[in-house]
Chain A
Amino acid sequence: GAVVSQHPSWVICKSGTSVKIECRSLDFQATTMFWYRQFPKQSLMLMATSNEGSKATYEQGVEKDKFLINHASLTLSTLTVTSAHPEDSSFYICSATPGRNQNIQYFGAGTRLSVL
């Protein structure tokens, strides 16, 4: 149980275009989903927290107009990187927390974004 699917696993895009990443909880309802960013040999950095049906809460320094998060259902959250630039190239990972146990976060496999 507690499987989180993230799609796509790898995406290459041109500078200035937008990219959408999906995060789905496959076998549980996720009251809360999180989006992280990870640079090589660095720790995971929380970008934003999203609760179903409400606006996401962004961490300090994360541009909410650039990283659009939608959590329209209890099993799906999306992250859209708008007008992507090479400095946005990174590894993006989502996680989800089942309502029955708020402490444990289950992670997706991550999305490698490369902006040319």
Chain B
Amino acid sequence: EDQVTQSPEALRLQEGESSSLNCSYTVSGLRGLFWYRQDPGKGPEFLFTLYSAGEEKEKERLKATLTKKESFLHITAPKPEDSATYLCAVQANQAGTALIFGKGTTLSVSS
């Protein structure tokens, strides 16, 4: 069964304190791995798509990496405005375009 597990469930950081969020996945055939940001009461906002092991993508203070079993979202020198829930989702070959989401990591950055 295709599955996505994110850890930790919650993460508290001081402003400027870098860290990483983990997304482990098992899928019959990976078509793509997606990272989204979700603010409370809002829909997910697209961040990155990764397609093959070794691929990396960056956007401001965020960098996403991908291996054959997991993905990391690295946050460098976070700011309070980075506080949100970060969702990881996979798209399996056999599932077409449907996304399978993890439960997310809720990040809180204090100044």
Interface residues of chain A, those whose CB is within 8 Å of chain B, are: 2, 4, 6, 32, 34, 41-46, 49, 91, 93, 95, 97, 102-110, 112
Q: Are A105 and B99 in contact (CB under 8 A)?
A: yes
Knowing A103-B91, A104-B34 are in contact, say whether A93-B99 is a contact too (CB < 8 A): no
Whether the Cβ atoms of B45 and A107 lie closer than 8 Å is: yes
B36-44, B54-62, B71-79: which one contacts chain A?
B36-44
Number of interface residues of B (CB under 8 A): 24
The 8 Å CB contact of A43, one of B31, B42, B101, is: B101
Q: Is the interface of B mostly helix, strand, loop or mixed?
A: strand
- With a cutoff of 8 Å between Cβ atoms, the chain B residues found around residue A112 in the complex are 41
- In the bound assembly, the distance between CA atoms of A44 and B85 in angstroms comes to 12
A103 and B43 within 8 A (CB): no
B101 and A109 contacting across the interface, CB-CB below 8 Å: no
A97, B96: Cα distance in complex, Å:
12
Q: Do A44 and B97 form a contact, CB below 8 Å, given A103-B49, A104-B49?
A: no
Q: Using CB atoms, name the residue of chain B closest to A93.
A: B43
Known A43-B102, A106-B46; further 4 A-B contacts with Cβ < 8 A:
A6-B43, A32-B97, A108-B43, A112-B41
- Chain A to chain B: the 3 pairs with minimum beta-carbon distance, closest first: A107-B43, A43-B101, A44-B101
